[in-house]
């Protein structure tokens, strides 16, 4: 931060709010932010905490799933599959069961999350007509169950094709997970966290800081000055724009270095998209600030109206495609949905910048509409 910006007050500066005024205002705004420990904590710690949390603790990936094997005859083929399973990082073979009755017990006492059951006499029965391998999974958590069954299927079919190249029986689907072959959940949530943190910092903090000026009466003083309302607004936005862009860079850096998320596409295009989204979020905060009178209301407004829908309906956690039509529409008017899609394309899929033209265009339109609406609503008097 610069020390002591000397403002040479010419006549024009006094009347229209020139560069000196703007600089003084931005400096003052930065002081507010830097001196408020809570704000600084939110701005600096939140991205790190969220990335660490989602990256290591709140992962939807499966790891160390306990598998019990039910095999009447422990022959060569069975051994091969079980070993391969045990060797993978996803599964741990915890026990061998001998009869059907043990299956229920294994689930109940928690010793198994999934059971791999082989038909009788695998080697012999494994003929052209096929044989049976049954996967029994604890589906209390549907997501986990689906994922572990899918992983197990992959392992089994791999070990079968490896072992018997000449075997042509049946159709074995060859599943390929494009862009995220290891099904890492961080690929999905990094764009989401980005979208969420930016909207939180920009919308919530801008609206709270503008409303704080109203509450403490300083807005009255600012209005009774030659400063134009639009200058007041823009200079209030600048520090939050800078802060959220720093946050964005922090998230990208952490994701790439710590979580091994790829930065497949153009970093420049990603920055442009992020800046655009930040402007949309700032104008949302501005719009909220013109509608509410207390910091509490601003907090609730940006929290409830922006955060919650952004989390649930932007595709960050739940797939939008499977929602009722109404929520699909809701998702389409939420800025984070478009930003998250754009980030996925640029960061994970590594598509060229032209593939996010639609997202960019929509965010631009949103920014223009929101800025126009908030300028129209900005009161240059007290009522």
Partner 1 sequence: MTEVSVREIFKSYGKVEALRGVSFEAERGELFGIIGPDGAGKSTLFRILTTLLVADSGSATVAGHDVVKEYNAIRACVGYMPGRFSLYQDLTVEENMEFFASVFGTTVEENYDLVADIYRQIEPFKKRKAGKLSGGMKQKLALSCAMIHRPRVLFLDEPTTGVDPVSRKEFWQMLGRLKEEGITIVVSTPYMDEASLCDRIALIMEGRFIGIDTPRGIVAQYGAPLYAVRADRRGGLLNDLRGMEELEACYAFGNEVHITAKQESAETERRVAEALAAKGYGDVEVRRIEPTVEDCFMKLSRR
378 near partner 1, judged by CB under 8 A: no
Q: Which helix (H) or strand (E) holds 197?
A: helix 185-199
Q: Which of 2, 35, 108, 376 binds partner 1 (CB under 8 A)?
A: 35
Judged by CB under 8 A, the chain residues 1 through 30 that form the site for partner 1 are 5-11, 13-15, 17-18, 20-21, 24-25, 28
Judged by CB under 8 A, the chain residues 321 through 350 that form the site for partner 1 are none
Give the binding range for partner 1 (CB under 8 A) out of 78-86, 306-314, 359-367, 374-382. 374-382
6 burial via Cβ count (<10 Å: 0-12, 13-18, 19+):
exposed
What phi, psi does 249 have (nearest 5°)?
-65, -40
Q: How far is CA 347 from the centre of its chain?
A: 12
Question: Considering only CA atoms, which of 218, 200, 211, 144 is closest in space to residue 336?
Answer: 200
Give the binding range for partner 1 (CB under 8 A) out of 82-90, 198-206, 210-218, 240-248. 210-218
Residues in contact with 359: Cβ distance below 8 Å, sequence separation at least 6, in sequence order: 273, 338, 339, 341, 342, 345
Q: Nearer Cβ to partner 1, position 222 or 234?
A: 222
36 near partner 1, judged by CB under 8 A: yes
**x-or-dash pattern for partner 1, window 220-249, by CB under 8 A?**
xxxxxxxx----------------------
Q: How far is CA 121 from the centre of its chain?
A: 48
Residues in contact with 286: Cβ distance below 8 Å, sequence separation at least 6, in sequence order: 206, 207, 210, 233, 237, 370, 371, 374, 378
Q: Nearer Cβ to partner 1, position 24 or 103?
A: 24
User: At 99, is the secondary structure helix, strand, or coil?
Assistant: coil
Q: Nearer Cβ to partner 1, position 321 or 383?
A: 383
Strands 114-118 and 91-97, by their bridges, are: unpaired
Q: Nearer Cβ to partner 1, position 73 or 212?
A: 212
Place of tokens 């992959």: 154
192 near partner 1, judged by CB under 8 A: no
Euclidean distance between CA atoms 232 and 238, whole angstroms: 10
State the nearest-atom distance from the C-beta of 21 to partner 1, in Å.
Answer: 6
129 near partner 1, judged by CB under 8 A: no
Q: Nearer Cβ to partner 1, position 17 or 195?
A: 17
Q: Site size for partner 1, by CB under 8 A?
A: 36
Tokens of 235: 């200079």
Residues that bind partner 1 (CB under 8 A): 5-11, 13-15, 17-18, 20-21, 24-25, 28, 31-32, 35-36, 216-218, 220-227, 380-383
């Amino acid at each position: 931060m610069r020390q002591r910006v000397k403002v040479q007050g010419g006549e024009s500066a006094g009347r229209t709010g020139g560069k000196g005024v703007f600089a003084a205002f931005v400096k003052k705004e930065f002081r507010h932010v830097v001196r408020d420990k809570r704000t600084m904590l939110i701005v600096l710690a939140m991205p790190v905490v969220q990335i660490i949390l989602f990256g290591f603790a709140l992962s939807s990936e499966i790891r160390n799933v306990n598998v019990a094997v039910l095999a009447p005859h422990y022959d060569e083929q069975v051994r091969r599959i079980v070993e391969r399973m045990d060797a993978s990082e996803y599964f741990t073979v915890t026990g061998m069961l001998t009869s059907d009755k043990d299956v229920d017990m294994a689930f109940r006492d928690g010793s198994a999350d999934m059971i791999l059951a082989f038909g009788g006499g695998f080697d012999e029965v494994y003929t052209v007509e096929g044989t049976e391998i049954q996967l029994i999974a604890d589906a209390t958590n549907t997501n986990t169950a689906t994922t572990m069954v899918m992983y197990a299927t992959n392992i089994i079919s791999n070990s079968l094709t490896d072992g018997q190249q000449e075997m042509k029986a049946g159709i074995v689907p060859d599943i390929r997970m494009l862009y995220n072959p290891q099904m890492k959940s961080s690929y999905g949530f990094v764009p989401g966290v980005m979208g969420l943190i930016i909207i939180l910092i920009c919308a919530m903090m801008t609206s709270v800081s503008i409303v704080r000026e109203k509450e403490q009466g300083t807005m009255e003083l600012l209005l009774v000055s030659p400063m134009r309302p639009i200058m007041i607004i823009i200079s209030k936005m600048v520090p939050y724009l800078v802060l959220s862009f720093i946050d964005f860079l922090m998230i990208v850096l952490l994701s790439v270095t710590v979580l091994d998320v790829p930065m497949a596409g153009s970093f420049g295009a990603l920055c442009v998209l992020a800046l655009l989204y930040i402007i949309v979020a700032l104008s949302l905060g501005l719009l909220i600030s013109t509608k509410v009178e207390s910091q509490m209301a601003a907090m609730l407004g940006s929290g409830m109206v922006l955060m919650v829908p952004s989390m649930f309906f932007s595709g960050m956690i739940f797939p939008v495609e499977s929602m009722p039509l109404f929520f699909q529409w809701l998702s389409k008017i939420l800025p984070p949905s478009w930003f998250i899609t754009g980030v996925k394309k640029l960061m994970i899929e590594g598509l060229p910048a032209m593939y996010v033209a639609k997202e960019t265009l929509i965010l631009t339109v949103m920014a223009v509409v929101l800025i126009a609406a908030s300028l129209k609503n900005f009161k240059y008097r007290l009522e």
